[in-house]
C-alpha cells in the first residue's frame, strides 16, 4: 500500500487550546543524560526532537515553549553529547537529542553518540513520537536518512517537521515538500502528516503544540 503524505491540517479549536495551555505552563529543564542508566523514570510518555546540527532545533524548542533560551543553541562540535530532558506540566517529557551530522566531529564521539541514540530509540518504551527536523532549504539528505532508517528499525513513529520556512520562496517550499514526501515513501515508521514551521515567524508552532498535547 502506498502511504499518502500530506501537510498536517490545522487542528480543531479544542486541540489548539489544549496545546496552548500545555505550553503556557512552565517547561523546565530536568537533566542531561549521557547513558541509558541516567534516563528519568519512565513514568509518563515522551516525544523527542532530532535533526542535523544547525537545522533550527534549539530555536524550535524555544518557540514551542515560549522561552528564549531553554534549549541552548550550542553547536560546538565534540562537546559532550547529552540527551536533554524537559518537563511539561501534565504532559510528556520533551527530549532534545544531540544534533547529528557534524562534519568535523571526532569518530569516537560519533560512535558513542550513535550507540546511545540506538539504545534510546530501541529501548525507551514511553517514547511516543520522534519529531525529525528537516531544513526547508535542503530537504531530506543522506545524513537524515540514517536516522530515519534507525527509527524504522526501532519502530518509533516519526513525524517530519520542516524548519525555517520563512527562508524560502513559494516555489522552493513546494519543491522541498515534494522531495520530503517522496523520501518518506521508503520509511514505514513515517507519520503521514508533515508540519511546516518557522520559529522566526511562528508558522506551524501552534499546530505542533496541539499535536504534542494530543498524544497519549
Q: Please, are residues 134 and 147 in contact by the beta-carbon 8 Å criterion?
A: no
**Whole-number Å distance between alpha carbons of 133 and 51:** 5
**Whole-number Å distance between alpha carbons of 114 and 116:** 5
Contact between 166 and ligand GDP by CB under 6 A: the answer reads yes
Q: Which helix (H) or strand (E) holds 146?
A: helix 142-154
193: left (phi over 0), alpha (psi -120 to 50) or beta: beta
Candidates 182, 199, 193, 168; CA nearest to 57 is: 199
Contact between 143 and ligand GDP by CB under 6 A: the answer reads no
Question: What is the sign, positive or negative, of the torsion defined by CA atoms of 167, 67, 90, 158?
Answer: positive
Please report how close the Cβ of residue 64 comes to ligand GDP at its closest, in angstroms.
12
Out of 57, 124, 129, 187, name the contact with ligand GDP by CB under 6 A.
57
Taking CA 49 as the corner, what is the angle to CA 45 and CA 55, rounded to the nearest 5 degrees? 170
Contact between 81 and ligand GDP by CB under 6 A: the answer reads no
Tell me the Cα Rg of the chain.
Answer: 16
Output phi, psi for 143, to 5 deg: -65, -30
Out of 112, 167, 175, 193, name the contact with ligand GDP by CB under 6 A.
167
Cβ distance to ligand GDP smaller for residue 128 or 164: 164
Cβ distance to ligand GDP smaller for residue 32 or 126: 32
Out of 8, 47, 50, 58, name the contact with ligand GDP by CB under 6 A.
58
Cβ distance to ligand GDP smaller for residue 58 or 88: 58
Contacts of 79 (CB under 8 A, 6+ apart): none
Out of 15, 53, 119, 179, name the contact with ligand GDP by CB under 6 A.
53
Q: Please, are residues 105 and 21 in contact by the beta-carbon 8 Å criterion?
A: no
Total interface residues for ligand GDP by CB under 6 A = 18
Contact between 75 and ligand GDP by CB under 6 A: the answer reads yes
Out of 8, 23, 47, 59, name the contact with ligand GDP by CB under 6 A.
59
Contact between 73 and ligand GDP by CB under 6 A: the answer reads yes
Contact between 51 and ligand GDP by CB under 6 A: the answer reads yes
Binding segment toward ligand GDP, per CB under 6 A, in 23-31, 109-117, 172-180, 197-205: 197-205
Chain positions contacting ligand GDP, by CB under 6 A: 51, 53-59, 73, 75, 99, 163-164, 166-167, 198-200
Amino acid at each position: 500500500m502506498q502511504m499518502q503524505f500530506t501537510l498536517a491540517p490545522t487542528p480543531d479549536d479544542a486541540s489548539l487550546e489544549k496545546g496552548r495551555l500545555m505550553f503556557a505552563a512552565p517547561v523546565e529543564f530536568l537533566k542531561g543524560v549521557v547513558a541509558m542508566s541516567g534516563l528519568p523514570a519512565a513514568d509518563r510518555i515522551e516525544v523527542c526532537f532530532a535533526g542535523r546540527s544547525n537545522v533550527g532545533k534549539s530555536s524550535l524548542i524555544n518557540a514551542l515553549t515560549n522561552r528564549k533560551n531553554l534549549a541552548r543553541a550550542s553547536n560546538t562540535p565534540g562537546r559532550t553529547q547529552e540527551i536533554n530532558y524537559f518537563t511539561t506540566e501534565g504532559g510528556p517529557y520533551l527530549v532534545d537529542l544531540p544534533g547529528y551530522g557534524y562534519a568535523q566531529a571526532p569518530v569516537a564521539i560519533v560512535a558513542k553518540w550513535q550507540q546511545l541514540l540506538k539504545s534510546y530509540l530501541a529501548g525507551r518504551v514511553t517514547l511516543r513520537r520522534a519529531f525529525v527536523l528537516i531544513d526547508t532549504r535542503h530537504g531530506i539528505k543522506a545524513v537524515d536518512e540514517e536516522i530515519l532508517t534507525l527509527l524504522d528499525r526501532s519502530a518509533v513513529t516519526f513525524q517530519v517537521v520542516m524548519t525555517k520556512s520563512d527562508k524560502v520562496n513559494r516555489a522552493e517550499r513546494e519543491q522541498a515538500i515534494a522531495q520530503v514526501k517522496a523520501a518518506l515513501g521508503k520509511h514505514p515508521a513515517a507519520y503521514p502528516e508533515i508540519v511546516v514551521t518557522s520559529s522566526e515567524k511562528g508558522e506551524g508552532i501552534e499546530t505542533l503544540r496541539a499535536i504534542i498535547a494530543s498524544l497519549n
